Structure 1
Amino acid sequence: MADDGRTDAQAVICLCAAEVLTMVGVFAFPALLPTFIAEWGLSNTQAGWISGAIFAGYTLAVPLLTAWTDRIDAKNVYLLGALCAAVSTLGFALTAQGFYSALLWRFLGGIGLAGTYMPGLKALVDRIAAERQPRWISFYTASFSLGTSGSFLATGVLADLFGWRAAFFSAAGAAAASAMLIALVLPAVKPPEQKQKTNPFDFAAVFRNRAAMGYVLGYAAHVWELFGARSWMVAFLGFALLRHPGASGPTPTTVATIATLIAMAASVFGADMAVRFGRRRWCALAMLASAALAFTIGFSAALPYLAAVGLMLLYNGLIQLDSAALTTGAVLVADPERRGATMAVHSLLGFGAGFCGPIAFGAILDAFGGAGSGFAWGLAFASLGAVAALGPLALRMGVSRR
């Protein structure tokens, strides 16, 4: 493990940049959701399935890929994941033409994300001195939001100029560039020596760690809300804009881009506040704040468009106040010899919830009047708040005071 600050910074910058590049394709479909619904004749439930499919692939693959990093260098897993992400977006660009083909490629993209996001965090932890890990982890997890912002921005711009297939070609190129960056810049290391041989897939031991599971289950509630909101944000803002013909203001994809940049800053800020005020206390307050706004924001389409935009930006900031703090908490209280397995469970439950959130959102829309009903949008966002409000209960099961 590196103990030189400059070497630490080089590894972190490399991993954060690679993460941003692999993220370009992750939210490309939600960024163009209204386009695909119209072009392919999708129901809201089908659109939710395609949005969530990437997280289904992630959920199934992450236990294996992340747990492996307890035995092999996470760099090698990351390279595999980045190449998988490139293939998935290239395949989408070349062959996607409806529900089933899009579902397949998005699922494969989830396997790529499983090979990059948490293995990238493990690669960072294996290369950074322990006393510097909390701060660097917050930067890495915040880069997820920066990558999301880049995904919305690049997809929206390229689709407007050249069509949606060009946007997915670009995402494939970005993922391939990420693989090259990791291969050429990130130094190889050996995983930390284990004091005794442990089964890297002994997830039962992780579930027995109450301190870690408090953060893991809290993270699951957080991700349900986060991905549900991000998957439907552009479509909701499009609905709000249609209710106010002639209204001025940024386009929905521009709002989504700004929102995720705000979320990135909120994640880093929240990580610092968690250290200052107590991690579990801070996370619980952040969850309750975002849940409270979720119960009302879906009804904001009746307000002037700029008011709906302002509330959406605030909502995205509140959602992310606990993101880095939850992940850091799980890493810090994990058994060092099972850190990869702990991160695998963390991602398995978290992104499993991320798969369910967009689908449940779309199903609620369909059940209560469709995407043209303000009441349906209000209930769909309220469902996200109901799940987020369960997060503080999960945190109470933890015994750690960190």
Structure 2
Amino acid sequence: MRFRSSGYTPLMLMAQTGALLGFACYAVVLTTLQEEWQLSNLESGLIASAFFFGYMLTVPLATALTDRVDARKVYLVGGLLATCGLLGMAFFAFNFWTALIFMAMNGAGLAGTYMPGLKILSDRIETGDLTRHIAFYTAFFGIGTGFSYLCSGWILNGLGWHYVFGIIALGPFSAFLIVLLLIPSLQHEKWKGPINIRLHDIFPVDKWKLVLQDKNASGFIFGYTAHSLELFASRSWIVAFFAFCTVVTGETFFLAATTLAGVINFFGVPSSILGNEIALRIGRQKWVCIVMLTSAVLGILLACSTGQSWWLIFALASGHAIFIMADSSTLTAGLVMSAKENIKGAAMGLHSLMGFAGGLLGPAIFGFVLDISGSRASQTSWVWAYVAVVIWGVLFVIYERRNGWGSKASR
């Protein structure tokens, strides 16, 4: 079956949605496993961070390979790896250490699908505005994670946490099948003969130096790091936060905590797409700075809202999610458009690596601050935990504005 170049985007959006279904499984079962395995908040955060650790270990190799071979091949391996990680959590995880292993495997699988999936599109789209295809692709991160919260919550309530991981494993496996059966190979393979991947191919430090020497490109990368730290910390702990709010207020929310988290994630989809359109008009750097400062304010207000009415908590959580995602596609599209063609693959790899380094740190920082500032049962601890993850975006804006990154818009 053959599609026009623009027809690959809907297929890759479907595949990405399936590949991301395992993203929020652990966030949904976090409190359940914390009680069953007697985990501290730090240990709970570290398991969430293990997902991003696996991603970080794998993404340099995955992106290096996309510069040598058709990214489709990398994607297929990633889909299978994520499936195995989720099945491992379902059938073999029984404590902190085993969960670390299988969550890292799940994250490694995502590394083989997310950026390689974007590379599949950029290699095949010949007409139209590539930045808009990128905007839709990055925005669908919210669709996949939203469905992940919803489906995981429904399965947890009906069957238990083992089934959450076991059934959700069908998601990345369906992504594997979509790419295998519906995305054709490139007509001209990038690399002929044996593929010799050396250490400097996996960690192309020389190319990364060239990327970082470009103030415009490096700004998008560091911005993405701060963005990801806040984003993934919030997504890892939002269900537990809603559960805490329910206990404090004694008032039942109009939806289950997992369903609320899923609905809120869906708001990020139009936010990311519209954010990219606004950025094209007022300048990417200016838009990123506005969004990060607004997101920080909303995050702190959300943390302070415990004990208030559910509608106020929901409104602030929605606003925070919207502004976290409002610069997501802008940061990625800005990096793709600003990086030079001969190092674009390495630039995308560094972008993803740094972003998920933020994702690795975010949940662990959040859990650590909860522990040292009191406990998960203290409102003050939640405020400090949110401050600890939103402050990085504020520091980024201050630093980059002083260094002139926001003074000239990237068109």
Q: Shared fold by TM > 0.5?
A: yes
Cα distance in 2 for partners of 1:326, 1:8 equals 24
Cα distance in 2 for partners of 1:279, 1:263 equals 18
Cα distance in 2 for partners of 1:37, 1:395 equals 39
Deviation at 1:208, TM superposition (A): 2.3
Counterpart mapping for 1:115-264 below 5 A: 115-129=112-126, 131-189=128-186, 190=188, 201=204, 202-264=207-269
Deviation at 1:296, TM superposition (A): 2.3
Whichever residue aligns with residue 271 of structure 1, its letter is: N
Change (3 A) 1:341 1:260: same
CA RMSD of superposed structures (Å): 1.9
Q: Which residue of structure 2 aligns with residue 319 of structure 1?
A: 324
1:292-343: CA deviation from partner (whole Å, max 9, x where unpaired):
1122221111212232122111110111110000000000011112111101
Cα distance in 2 for partners of 1:394, 1:65 equals 31
Q: Which residue of structure 1 aligns with residue 52 of structure 2?
A: 55
SS at match of 2:209: helix
Cα distance in 2 for partners of 1:63, 1:290 equals 29
Cα distance in 2 for partners of 1:394, 1:326 equals 17
Give the count of matched residue pairs.
Answer: 395
Deviation at 1:204, TM superposition (A): 2.5
1:379 aligns with 2:379: no
Q: Which residue of structure 1 aligns with residue 298 of structure 2?
A: 293
* Runs (5+) with no aligned partner, structure 2: 192-199
Whichever residue aligns with residue 99 of structure 1, its letter is: F
TM-score, normalisation: structure 2: 0.92
Cα distance in 2 for partners of 1:393, 1:131 equals 36
Counterpart mapping for 1:32-111 below 5 A: 32-111=29-108
Which one of 281, 286, 307 corresponds to residue 286 of structure 2?
281
Deviation at 1:105, TM superposition (A): 0.3
Cα distance in 1 for partners of 2:391, 2:127 equals 36
1:389 aligns with 2:394: yes
Q: Which residue of structure 1 aligns with residue 410 of structure 2?
A: 401
Deviation at 1:37, TM superposition (A): 1.1
* Greater Cα shift, 33-42 or 283-292: 33-42
Deviation at 1:346, TM superposition (A): 0.1
1:307 aligns with 2:304: no
SS at match of 1:390: helix
Give the percent of matched residue pairs that are identical in Structure 1 and Structure 2: 35
- Tell me if structure 1 keeps the 8 A contact 2:284–2:409: no
* Runs (5+) with no aligned partner, structure 1: 194-198
- Tell me if structure 2 keeps the 8 A contact 1:215–1:394: no
- Tell me if structure 1 keeps the 8 A contact 2:249–2:309: yes
- Tell me if structure 1 keeps the 8 A contact 2:245–2:307: yes
Deviation at 1:192, TM superposition (A): 6.8
Q: Which residue of structure 1 aligns with residue 194 of structure 2?
A: none
- Tell me if structure 2 keeps the 8 A contact 1:70–1:337: no
